[in-house]
Amino acid sequence: MKKLNLTVFLFVLIVGLAGCKQDDIFNAAEQAEIDEATIVAYLNDLGLYEQAIRDDASGIYYVISEQGTGVKPVFGATVITHYSGFFLSGELFDTSLGGAGPLDFVLGRGDVIAGWDRGFSLIEEGTQALMIIPSGLAYGNNGSSGIPPNSVLQFDVNLIDVR
């Protein structure tokens, strides 16, 4: 009986694996390449590629519109920011403007998307910048309410204060 159960199990496993298409399996490295090409094309279309700074460790791009003179936030610092989040289509999906005021979060604690934890560590207090976050550092292949899977996101940020 055990031999039969093992045979049935192996048969079901093989049939199940054969039924999976390779295209259905998420590949983070391929998605990162797609995101990189998407970001470069987007920045070129905006005429901002030459001004953009790429963080090689994360793949985040940012363009500073106003350079701050304060400190860079470090792990554990409280960051206070105004922001507007956009899809690359230009559609606004979130903003702190006109609402309850700026957002504050503790850098590195995972309170925000990983792209913010990394991105805000790259700029100084008082900086206004455009940040382009690859999907893997945003909501990944799962997406989030209102944000489709594998979405590269743009944030216009104003780093108001670091505590």
Q: What is the mean pLDDT of each run of 10 residues along the chain (163 residues)?
A: 44 43 74 97 98 97 98 97 97 92 96 97 98 98 94 98 97
Distance CA 94, CA 2 (A): 56
- Residue 32 included in any domain: no
Distance CA 77, CA 70 (A): 13
Furthest-apart CA atoms within the chain: distance in Å: 74
- Residue 19 included in any domain: no
Residue 11 one-letter amino acid: F
pLDDT of residue 157: 98
- Overall number of domains in the chain: 1
pLDDT of residue 24: 61
pLDDT of residue 8: 42
H helix or E strand, kind and range, residue 5:
helix 2-19
Domain of residue 117 covers: 51-163
Distance CA 86, CA 126 (A): 21
CATH of the domain at 163: 3.10.50.40
Residue 20 has which token pair? Answer: 């999976």
- Residue 14 included in any domain: no
Helix (H/G/I), strand (E/B), else coil: 78: strand
Distance CA 30, CA 133 (A): 16
pTM across the whole model: 0.83
